[in-house]
Structure 1
Amino acid sequence: EAQLRASPVWPSTPPSTPQASARKNSAAPPVTSTSDVLQAAATRAKELNRKTPSPGSSGGQDDPDTARSLRMAYWQVVMLLVLGDDSPEAAQEYEEAWTTCIERLDSPSVFLFWFAQYLPTSLNRRYASTSARLRQRVRAAVDAAWDTPAAGVSGASPTGPERRPFTFLAIVADEAPSQRLSREDATEVLLELLFTGASSVTTTMSWLLWHLATDTHVQERLRHEIDGAVASRGDRPSAADLSKLPFLDAVLRETLRLYSPIHIGRHCLRDTTHEGISIPAGTDIAANMWFIHRNPDIWPDPHTFRPERFLGQPTNVAGFHPFSMGMRGCPGKAVAFTMCKLLVGRLVASYEIFPDAQRQRTPPEFSGSVVLSNTPVEMFLLGRSR
């Protein structure tokens, strides 16, 4: 982590606009670790609502979309971990490709008619253009890594360059030539890493922070726990502190129960029957975790945000499967948990979180998306005096 360097969170406005220039000039100074990149999300959120006099007023000209800030911060972390690239151009290309991909997945015509993806529509052309630019950037990074051996790799000179900083690109590049992926395969693997989890993690954090903003009791209890864990050094929580924060873990699990971030699906390989229902080969089957996690037979008062229900419970609570289960469960579960806890813990330690004064406790509405990635979540962050 200490080997990675990151610039401030890239603004959502394209760099050619006056708004982007103003935000870039007012950004925080560069940070030196991935944890600090996550903390920069708070700075980005405050920039978005900087015209608003106070959390309790209604004089703001723009609503602060904290969900967008979280997405931008998370995307920058992913770009650093996958490619080691913290350039604004890379962040913008990543955002454009990802949002266009989600927009295309949301398209009813593309979803219902297989041939619609080949029609020369503006959306299809934009998807082809943005994905091609990102693919070219990833391929260029792969080519550069393949052509520049690092110390410790078979065939590299002991007096040559130092080993590359940790990135997923470095992992695949530092394999022995006989075991290394082809450049084409490495490009596809890295692109998959860029898109995996980009919506589920930020969606979960957005809903979690919204509940903290609208439930002062839960927010204060969580802040008290965090302050106690870091009281000896007066700092923000680190990864080493997470095991001492059971209420933070419970808050995250309760959020995942109420808002399952991913669908859990399987592809039927052969004709079969389940409880009298015929399932032909080739059928895609999805479990509706939204209803399972809100089943009153399993969860008392299922529509209420109550983190206490997870305190003192084992990690494998019956009826709780936000990341699927078993061998086919999400391999990024541990990373997602750690990133969510670190970001939320640092935000709560540094800021008081308030809902938008004009919306108060009205929940954000779901957007028409296959994932909940585009749902705006407006709130205010007020710095604490420690």
Structure 2
Amino acid sequence: MASVACSLVSTVLNDVEGVREMLADLCAQTRLPDEFVVVDGGSKDGTYELLLAEAPRLPFKLRALQEKGCNVSRGRNLAIEAASHDVILTTDFGCRLDKGWVEGLVRPFEADPTVEIVTGSWRIRPEDVHTDAQWAEWALAGGKMEMVATPTCLASTRSLALKKQVWIDFGRYPEDLSLAGDDAIFSLWMVAANKRIAAAPDAWCYWHRFEKLRSYLREARRNFRGAGEAIFFLNYGIKTGALFVLEMFSVVALVATVVALPFGLSPWWAAGAAVAFAVLWAKRFAKWARAIRYLRSVGKGEHWAMVPRLELGVRYNGVVGYWQGFFHGRTHCRACRAKMATLKVPRW
């Protein structure tokens, strides 16, 4: 089995601690990357300077590039363009890597030269869950957040490997998206395009989540804005958006009819509004109840109040972000939308 050289690529902005953790994880790998290409988007906290200072001390080649103001898509394109090797590994700062991550992603290329893409696994570890928001997310997911790699999974750039020719066939990551969505487009396309995909389920990336609620809300708005700009995940924009509007309307209707009762409104109106409210919110309340029961079962019941705040906040910001992106993309993301059509990426 012939050895395959690989280049690891990533982007970074203002994350000194993330750089330290990533370099430590890479130095502990059972198989080192042959090079690590990092594109800095214009950090102001010393991140770029730290990368330059650490480069001579590492047991692998580190190439730190900087383009101030570049978004994530452009940063990924610059890093892959600068990579010396045909096999490209991708991950994100803010994640931790299992010691066998590099070896696991490279091995399928060595075993079968026709493989074009390798998907890796990711998970959130219980020991990394600490704050109210983290516990609420964990409980809403049923106490387990992970994706075990398969050849058809919606792979993430935090744990992925591909040949450079695949990136060329894809036409590079779309740079006209505001902040997010490029990796999801790639994942949808790579399956639809019938690429030769292998899975490395034992190549684990550990995803560290946000500590505060506002960061989750910003993430939801950012990610779904990208989906709206490119017009994919339409089922979320339409179905989830319509349901959210109906739920909010039912709250307003119930309050309005109850307030109007002393002024002669028929109780039947209030009863109808109450039934509509109960029907629309039943699944939501059941989901919150399951999450709160889970928190109590693991001795973390004190975090219960964050459950509805996080779930409602993420849905609201996701829907608003989606439609903001949808209308923004009509004039600012035409190239990406054209790429979606040309590549026949699934919209739903």
TM-score, normalised by the number of residues in structure 2 = 0.28
Q: Which has a greater percent of helix? A: 2
TM-score (norm 1): 0.26
Bigger share in strand: 2
